[in-house]
Amino acid sequence: MTPKAEMRRLLAFFEANGAQVVEADILQSAEVLLDLYGEDIRARAYVTSDALRGEQMLRPDFTVPVVQMHMEHGAEPARYTYAGEVFRRQEEDINRPSEFMQVGYEVFERENPAAADAEVFALFKEALAPLGLRAATGDMGILMAAVRGLSTTERRKAALLRHIWRPRRFRALLDRFGGKVEVPASRLALLAATDAMALAGPVMGLRSEAEINARIEALKDDAVAAPISDGEAAILDDILNLREKAPMVLERLRDIAVDLPAIISAVEAMDARLTAMSARGVDVDGLDFEGSYGRTTLEYYDGFVFGFYAEARPDLPAVASGGRYDALTSVLGQGRSIPAVGGVIRPELVHALGDQS
């Protein structure tokens, strides 16, 4: 079976399980993607432009256009499947392909998010069963809830949430907000100045004088804010370092929730998801869970996340990956939202691993 034949097989599998086949344009609005991810997306996408449509990007994935389509025209509940090429620049590893195929399955379901999570995971597990892959799971919602529950300023929590997908930057911010990193002397001099604009000289660049002053005031507020306690920082580290079978992690998270009640709702959601998975025949007692899993994926996952890996081929990326992205539907829904979860499979990898089995 060729990779394209594998793609058609997977597409037919999801269609047979109730999904509507949809398509997405190869060229996507750069403005939408830049609004979602910021300028960082330029390093991962191929950009073009013309006088009529403005700046465009070759689609880096299907989820954003499928969500846009559903929020504009879709009924509830809905299940979609799609197949085609996506395009991502690979400047750090030129051996990885910049164009590859994806087959996806997305569920928009309001009534029972835990059951929808279990449905998507179980179908992916079934589709990939002949390959004997290892499944990894995590939950960005637990980590996000932990950050929101910190006893610190809203501005600091917003900064940590914004960089939650950038582990090094997140750690640097946590150390700084915890008082473990000294404030640079240049910043202290700026904050001590009675007339910041006079110190800075003439306004240059794209930021206005008002924006610059607002930034300075934010830095002043941050400089006098109490540091994040060692205890709360340790709780975050405990969550990030979790790496065990899912039921064991659930019990540990219940213990952590005693000291950080903000995560209780997310922990209950994980419990409901594991129950729903078990009802679908998933062996949750053998399911791996990693507290930091999902932090280096595309930045719209905000709940359950998963991936399937070939343990005998550590050189390969995830054969399949996905997760929950409720907030994305709100961002793209122009005032409307719906819980959503989905994922993608790489048919070329399925084909390559199938040939080796």
170-179, 295-304, 340-349: range with highest mean pLDDT: 340-349
- Over residues 274-286, the mean pLDDT reads 97
**Which stretch of DSSP H or E encloses residue 117?**
helix 113-128
- 88 falls in which pLDDT band (50, 70, 90)? confident
In terms of domains, do 98 and 220 share one? no
What Å distances lie between residue 203 and 135, 193, 200, 207, CA to CA?
53, 17, 8, 8
Q: Is residue 329 part of a domain?
A: no
In terms of domains, do 169 and 189 share one? no
**Sign, CA torsion 310/311/317/318:** positive
In terms of domains, do 220 and 235 share one? no
pLDDT of residue 306: 97
pLDDT of residue 213: 66
Higher model confidence: residue 36 or residue 73? Answer: 73
In terms of domains, do 197 and 174 share one? no
In terms of domains, do 287 and 147 share one? yes
9: exposed, middle or buried (Cβ count in 10 Å: 0-12, 13-18, 19+): middle
CA atoms within 13 A on the CB side of 143: 28
Distance (Å, whole) CA 126 – CA 282: 10
In terms of domains, do 160 and 271 share one? yes
- 334 falls in which pLDDT band (50, 70, 90)? confident
- Over residues 316-328, the mean pLDDT reads 94
Q: Residue 81 is which amino acid?
A: T
Q: Is residue 328 part of a domain?
A: no
- Over residues 241-256, the mean pLDDT reads 98
On the question of pLDDT at 324 being above 80, the answer is: yes
pLDDT of residue 32: 81
Contacts of 118 (CB under 8 A, 6+ apart): 273, 276, 277, 279, 280, 282
On the question of pLDDT at 357 being above 60, the answer is: no
When the pLDDT of each residue in the chain is averaged and rounded to a whole number, the result is 88
Are residues 101 and 40 in contact, defined by beta-carbon separation less than 8 angstroms? no
CATH number at residue 275: 3.30.930.10
Are residues 228 and 156 in contact, defined by beta-carbon separation less than 8 angstroms? yes
Among 139-148, 197-206, 228-237, name the one with the lowest average pLDDT: 197-206
Which of these, 247, 227, 92, lies nearest to 152 by C-alpha position? Answer: 227
In terms of domains, do 168 and 192 share one? no
Provide the number of structural domains found in the chain.
3
